[in-house]
Structure 1
């Protein structure tokens, strides 16, 4: 969506005050504008025409409001036109006749190429709004979208009442269509039962069933699994899993569901029946999908716990066995040396010691783990109950589903042994246990095989659940086959990829030959060596010359900037970017609403709760903060607000010295939390329970994407997702290079990123990854032959090219996230043709990257600089979020996204404010003739926070920015006429 450049689009009046930044960015007069004004109007008419011109260009609307014009704008117009203009004026004082004002507006429209909206164009606008309303999440968003749509097409934006009446009628029609869809998909009996949930009580807890369904899952434990299953069972008994509502975009369903989540049941009952039906049905449907995902995640993690515990028990048992074995050897040694007894007596004693020694050879460690897992049959059986109720579906030949069905049938019949004539297929690893003589143990082994197989099947997509978001059928996640065949060329055009693999591979092969030659040259020059381990090695980067000037310059800059209160910083950045208007979808009505919004940002983005924040801000009610915190959970608003702040930061010339804005690094920062969050994991470095906050940091320091993640999992999917979602809203080509650490890299991830149009640059750790993989027909230079492997199959890439493009196009179109796609087609999908094609193509891409990494010092230094820059931003984030996520916070998906987004927004506010002050300080120094080298400035950064007071009593300077941030009440507008 358009960001900072569209700040004033759709406005029908000017604020009473403008900042110098706003005047120069949005209301500037160019030299050609001044020439046109001088040619067309006489001196006393130019000011009014100029004001009409700049307002039309900024807003797309004519300026008809007669309130007081901003002094800053009047002064600027006077200076640019060299005219004496009063500092206090209104349209009424500038125009004595309305016809003159009208003539100026007509001229400005003609000069800017704006066309007036006729009846035919309004029909086109209405048709576009009907299409947009099908996916838009609120009517306010719909009106904002049509403002931008008209502005981009140079159509004069109609009066607000005209658009709002049109949007209201279209929105009502959309909701009527939704109601018709719901009535067709949900039987009346089920709608009545759903409505009864508003007042029905749940057990002895005192809550209504609706309140109970709103309660998020608690800590990772069997009791949480049981409660989550109980909620799923209730929803399935209601028939929610049979509702066919997929034609409505999931984000739109979530938006309606969130309204129910934010209201008390009593307030839901007060809604109009049609509105209540829509919101309640979508809430129940989304709740079932999310609870199913949560249960599958919990059971998968539970299976991992059981396997890990079996591994630990096996390790301990093997250690004890080793001790006992050595003790037996010591005893045997003593018997052998006992010369006081006969040989036969000693042999008899040795035979007694070895009586318990099994005749078969010892099992491998993995086989011992499977045996230990089989012995843990009570916990495995307790876990199979929830899994059986989910209704798994999968491929016909999926062994784990057949095993689950057989185990369920035997348990229902009361059998305790596995029949000898069992024909259910099992893997070779489990075959000895399942085919063994002990049939009771064989049944337990089959249960363990089924439960571990299901987890793998879910990850690779061979097993799925229809009422799930992330674990549904793999083909349902992708563009449907019929649509892919029909629109194949359109998708390829948007990706810039050929329909066959040969043109892409030819270009890649040519680049690879040149890169290999450069690497061989670096080896001959001694910059790269091949070690005894048959892997590439290089010496550490040569440190830059020690120079204290950049550090002293930074200290001098921030010394002149001085200390600042966090509240002042937030309000000033809001005045420059209008992020509060984005978060509220309108301007704040009064000071209390605005301060409550800031307090909600602080409550979400720091470790403080509403009570503590209210104590820091005088005369603020915690209830108002809680209401504003719910508002921040509305999807899309925090990302759009963040985009505005980052765009403002990038308008300063100093950022061009830091980077081009086309590169980024991504990494995860862990926030300590309570184990009572079911997705909390132990951070291996900090040794505490934590959740991950994954961020993409530009080479110009701003954070352009954020998302909460689960720790200790591969992060390649979320890394690619961040770049993809950022690039889809850019018209400048977006990001072209992404630097990640080891966790952000996988083979499939490197292929997907390249086909999406950007390069994934990983910091590789394993020596096995420092090999050169080449096509079987390519010959490596003689000096690199020791580390080259001709094992890349071009045929595998060609054969599955179309399937690979379908996956990538689905990610690009937003049908499936890169996170889910990489899970389904990643390492868990080994053997799948699409995975094989992606893996072989990735080997070529990794070889090309390694050649550049080892042969190009500047490329390597730049990549490490990007990663270090991301770490410096993480330090700033830790200064803002100093504590841990409270046990009662972050359990809901929407709330955790709001926490991540708020922390990102507060971080970007600090970075943008520092950048602005650094630019102003440098401009001041240069105006005095104090020159500063660009090489020094490149090594500075705005992620500085020692001068910021993040705590203490917060006093927001409302009066200083009232006219810029608050929407004046109607009576106040009249008083200013």
Structure 2
């Protein structure tokens, strides 16, 4: 069978516009194919040729002329010496068409599938494919691939769709029944009780309920389990513990559920999240129990993760509030003493001159009493006395309020560690659990109380006291505080993990379990040598060459100087501003003239009519009765409401013959995080596809990433106070390529790692762009970040704010003499043996990032400053020093590289500036405390802004297709050209949606020669 058959397997679909090269590549007839053409009629020859090439390309026969692009018909008409008009008399489904199809299948070595073949297909789908819950389009492709392997002609689209949907329905019915069979009678009774608890009143348009007060276990229903954790505090901890206890009372068979298809369980979790208890009760028993069990089993993991987050944040909050309180009290009456050295000299001199004198007569005349009092206060505010005062406040806060959470956390969570060095913390937790009901102030003398690794030196005298007999004893409350602080540090670095958690699970589960077996495959996938020595030799040579290049070029580099004193020794002259493009403002004015006051809603609609991204949105239910046209309209209105932050109520009130309840139904049943990401990828890829290289240049491999702060409600764990920007909010981390197409976005906390977010976006963007360079600012880079980026196969190129104080490492001991022009900024040599020892482990973690066995942030938790002793972290940091040195050499030496990075980051900053124009509703604040709603708002904003870029690309190309404008544009104009413009767009006013009205953009974008 020819290798080019079934082109659909490579993701190719018949598009409507083809250039000459594409037509020649995919639709040309070979000599053997030309010999097959019937000779009697022109229509027969042309129809036969279209049937043959269409089947080879698409995998099935067209049903009529409607599905044939005109350019293809013209091309094949010329090849067969026929006229396109001849197709009107061709019998597509008549005897001629059937005879031609049979001849084509015989030529290709295919036969029609029998009933037995179709049963084999169903068996194969059930055993190997359906468990993965792939999108239906991909399922069709896999089925066509199966037909090709069996030398069978695939079914036509309609029969194939019916067969696949029937097989999927049967698979799901069997899965429902198997889950229900796993549940005991007591578990089913508990689920029924869970679904009969009266639901609270819901005031939020997203259907959220607030954790305003603690609800006891018995009063918790499904709606309470759906709610996210509230703000940081004891009440939120107790509420999450109550939810966890309620789920565990169901006695779900966790081990049995864990081996079921995880994709389907996640699908059921999303489905239950959109249905009320009343709706779930209406399902047949096997469906009701299966959905509830799948939801609660996954919700248990999420609640444990939320509990750990709360525990970490509460422990931190206790200490910070105590320090702030003490500092405020001290600063209220503290006046810092200036010239303390001179004061102490005067006191010493006076004491030496009159050693037998009275203090009042000798010292007070030299240094006044008030000055001495200020010195004492200042010492108390910074010395051991200050530490004791802070601990006193912490103890008071903990013992009177927060201590109530400790027994319940110890009962609910099981802490473990894979490292014996952290065993004292686990033993200390066991000791606390033993004493949970005791009223003793001190531990018994017979108890072994771990001190090392738990109690810090500054707290030791407070924790370990002495009785009247001068015997040491450990104060329980003070010790508990130290144990919690040590536990927080170990949890953050995942040195201690929690049974049943997802993000805080056993860190060994984050790594590929089959790494030893498939070691060679994983090395090949990362394109790294298996021999650690070869890896190091390559790096050492690159590092040496980079240092030599910089050393040689320094005397000839007028824009860079190396200073011989001070902390900041690298002096780089700022970049000169480039001249403003001459014609861009005129181009923007032309676009404003032609498409002035274009509605942002019309732009969203136009993008969907061209790209069809709303087809990706499928119901979370088994069946859906909405027709596609109605659903498309409601989806566009809902996405616009979320993306602009205007809200569903305001959009529904605009008079679209669509009610708020209908929009809310679509929002809950159809709009999901995974689907929005797929729609974003589709629009991004469509933008890449329509771009003209003559205007935008060839395909790019660069991406810039940066974050932007958005205000948000603060009764949740995502919102944090931002140190740099002030105010409470969340961060959105964007990945934007060089021509303003954002390929990935993430909602993150203000304090979470931007390095992890940068890596996550490059690896998970799922668009056609192959990212080879990643531009970031200083917050998006670290030594560990440099190491992982190199292992994953792309370059990290940051714009370093503190470049002036950077140091360059040496490739060899005693090699500093080889770089005489860099002496002032050189430091120690690299520890290559450490990299060599941990090379395999570093590759293992890089493989985990590539495969996505865990989130990038969860993996990078192990490589933070709190875990400096971890050998793999030390090796990654050392590798990062090598790569950072290589980068700094290039960065300092090349003004072109500095400008390239600067221009890349300007693009993402321009993207950030447009966020406020689109996300204008509710003062641009993320108005929800539910994590899911926050993520949907961010992704809808991303989709809406991406549609603006897509339509603007078409508009710009339409203008530049005219010869006067084409000739007018200079190289500088094209270099600075961006499709992210919005002076011609009106996001406000009435929200009119007329599906029959199109934007006046022509479809032919070929440049005039």
How far does residue 760 in structure 1 lie from its aligned partner after superposition? 1.8
Partner of 1:101: 97
Partner of 1:970: none
Q: Verify: 1:518 aligned to 2:549, yes or no.
A: yes
Shift of 1:953: 2.2
Rate the CA distance shift 1:139–1:391 in 2: closer, same or farther, 3 A: same
Q: Which has the higher contact order (CA 8 A, sep 6+)?
A: 1
Contact 2:511 2:853 (8 Å CA) reproduced = yes
CA change 1:52–1:129 in 2 (3 A) is farther
Q: 1:416·1:440 contact (CA, 8 Å) conserved in 2?
A: no
Distance 2:841 2:25 in 1: 54
Q: Does 1:61 align with 2:60?
A: yes
Please state if 1:303 is matched with 2:332: no
Whole-angstrom CA distance in 2 between matches of 1:612 and 1:805 = 52
Which runs of structure 2 are paired with 1:334-413 in the superposition (5 Å)?
A: 344=358, 346=360, 362-363=383-384, 369-370=390-391, 372-377=393-398, 378-395=400-417, 396=420, 397-413=422-438
Show the counterpart of 2:755.
716
Shift of the alpha carbon at 1:811?
1.8
User: Contact 1:671–1:690 (CA<8 Å) still a contact in 2?
Assistant: yes
Aligned pairs for 1:461-476 within 5 A: 461-476=494-509
1:460 aligns with 2:493: yes
C-alpha separation between the residues in 2 aligned to 1:931 and 1:63? 45
Gap change, CA 1:265 and 1:127, over 3 Å in 2: same
Task: Tell me the CA shift for residue 256 of structure 1.
Answer: 0.7
In the alignment, structure 1 residue 169 sits paired with structure 2 residue 167: yes
Q: Deviation of residue 553 (structure 1)?
A: 3.9
Deviation at 1:445, TM superposition (A): 2.6
1:826 aligned to which of 854, 857, 864: 864
Query: 2:745 matched to 1:748?
Result: no
1:846 matched to 2:840? The reply is: no
* CA distance, structure 1, for counterparts of residue 625 and residue 549 of structure 2: 57
1:43 correspondence with 2:55? no
Report the 3-state secondary structure (helix = DSSP H, G, I; strand = E; otherwise coil) of the residue aligned with 1:198.
helix
- Correspondence for 1:194: 191
Residue 430 of structure 1 is aligned with which of 444, 450, 459?
A: 459
Q: Distance in 1 between matches of 2:92 and 2:414?
A: 76
2:299 matched to 1:287?
A: yes
The CA deviation string for residues 439-477 of structure 1, in whole angstroms up to 9 with x for no partner, is 899433312211111111112112111121100111122
Contact 1:573 1:909 in 2 (8 A): yes
2:517 counterpart residue number: 486
- The answer to whether the 8 A contact 2:704-2:776 is kept is yes
**Which residue pairs with 1:967 in the alignment?**
none
**Cα distance in 2 for residues equivalent to 1:429 and 1:406:** 22
Aligned pair partner of 2:940 in 881, 902, 918: 902
Q: Is the 8 A contact 1:739 1:863 kept in 2?
A: yes
Alignment counterpart, residue 259 of structure 1, candidates 259, 263, 271: 271
Over 3 Å counting, the alpha-carbon distance change for 1:54 and 1:878 in structure 2 is: farther
- Please name the residue that 2:559 is paired with: 527
Task: Give the structure 2 partner of residue 212 of structure 1.
Answer: 224
Q: Which residue of 1 aligns with 2:741?
A: 702
> How far does the alpha carbon of each residue in 1:183-215 deviate from its partner, in whole angstroms, 9 at most, with x for none?
45x544223322331114587999871122122
CA-CA distance at 1:308 after TM superposition: 1.9
Distance 1:592 1:929, change over 3 A: closer
**Secondary structure of 2:196's partner?**
coil
For the Cα contact (< 8 Å) 1:459–1:823, is it kept in 2?
Answer: yes
1:678 match: secondary structure: coil
Q: Does 1:680 align with 2:706?
A: no
Please name the residue that 1:498 is paired with.
529
Say if 1:31 and 1:881 are closer, same or farther in 2 by CA, change over 3 A.
closer
Question: CA–CA distance in 1 between the matches of 2:908 and 2:785?
Answer: 20
CA contact (8 A) 1:519 1:855 kept: yes
**Post-superposition shift, 1:800?**
1.5
State which drifts further: 470-479 or 268-277: 268-277
Closer, same or farther in 2 for the Cα pair 1:889/1:121, shift >3 Å? Answer: same
> Which secondary structure does the structure 1 equivalent of 2:828 belong to?
strand
How far off is 1:321 after superposition?
7.0
How far did residue 124 of structure 1 move? 6.2
- What per-residue deviation string (whole Å, max 9, x for no partner) do you get for residues 94-119 of structure 1? 31872321344456668999886676
Using the TM superposition, give the Cα deviation of residue 611 of structure 1 relative to its aligned residue in structure 2, in angstroms. 0.9
What is the Cα deviation at residue 748 of structure 1? Answer: 1.8
CA contact (8 A) 1:606 1:880 kept: yes
Report the CA distance between 1:240 and its aligned residue: 4.5
CA distance in 1, matches of 2:944, 2:534: 46
CA distance in 2, matches of 1:675, 1:551: 42
Q: Under a length normalisation based on structure 1, what TM-score does the superposition of the two structures give?
A: 0.85
User: Given the alignment of the two structures, is residue 584 of structure 1 paired with residue 628 of structure 2, yes or no?
Assistant: no
SS of 1:134 mapped into structure 2: helix
How far does the alpha carbon of each residue in 1:150-204 deviate from its partner, in whole angstroms, 9 at most, with x for none? 79999754233345435533553465357546645x5442233223311145879
Cα distance in 1 between the residues matched to 2:625 and 2:278: 29
Q: Is the 8 A contact 1:573 1:913 kept in 2?
A: yes
Give yes or no for the alignment of 1:762 onto 2:798.
yes
| RMSD (Å) for aligned C-alpha atoms | 4.2
- Separation in 1, partners of 2:151, 2:771: 28
Cα 1:432–1:146 change in 2 (3 A) is farther
Contact 1:890-1:899 at 8 Å conserved across structures: no
Judge conservation of contact 2:644–2:941 (CA < 8 Å) in 1: yes
Provide structure 1 residue ranges, at least 5 long, that are not aligned to the other structure.
15-20, 963-977
1:62 to partner: Cα distance: 1.2
The one-character-per-residue Cα deviations of 1:595-617 (angstroms, maximum 9, x if unpaired) are 10101111221211111011235
Is 1:875–2:913 an aligned residue pair? yes
Task: Quickly say closer, same or farther: Cα 1:561–1:402, change in 2 above 3 A.
Answer: same
1:355-381 superposed Cα distances (whole Å, 9 cap, x missing partner): 997999932877765565345333442
Evaluate the alpha carbon distance shift between residue 385 and residue 603 of structure 1 in structure 2; reply closer, same or farther with a 3 A threshold. Answer: farther
Residue deviations 1:838-872, cap 9 Å, x none?
11111111111111111122122111111110111
Contact 1:676 1:887 (C-alpha < 8 Å) held by counterparts: no
Q: Secondary structure at the match of 1:412?
A: coil
* Unpaired segments ≥5 residues, structure 2: 1-6, 200-214, 1000-1009
| Aligned mate of 1:24, from 18, 23, 38 | 18
Residues 517-556 of structure 1 correspond to what in structure 2 (within 5 A)?
Answer: 517-525=548-556, 526-531=558-563, 532=565, 533=567, 535-556=569-590
Q: For 1:565-644, what aligned pairs fall within 5 Å after superposition?
A: 565-584=599-618, 589-644=627-682
Contact residue 131 and residue 263 of structure 2 kept, 8 A: no
Superimposed CA distance per residue, residues 519-554 of structure 1 (whole angstroms, 9 cap, x where no aligned partner): 113322243222322643311112223443344344
What CA distance in whole angstroms lies between the structure 1 residues aligned with 2:914 and 2:148? 38
Q: Is the 8 A contact 1:178 1:278 kept in 2?
A: yes
Give 3-state SS (helix, strand or coil) of 2:907's partner. Answer: helix
- 156-165 vs 344-353, which deviates more? 344-353
Question: Residues of 1 paired with 2:626 and 2:900: CA distance?
Answer: 43
Which residue of 2 is the match for residue 232 of structure 1?
A: 244
Q: Does 1:813 align with 2:851?
A: yes
Judge conservation of contact 2:712–2:927 (CA < 8 Å) in 1.
no
Normalising by structure 2, we get a TM-score of 0.83
Distance in 1 of aligned mates of 2:981 and 2:659: 32
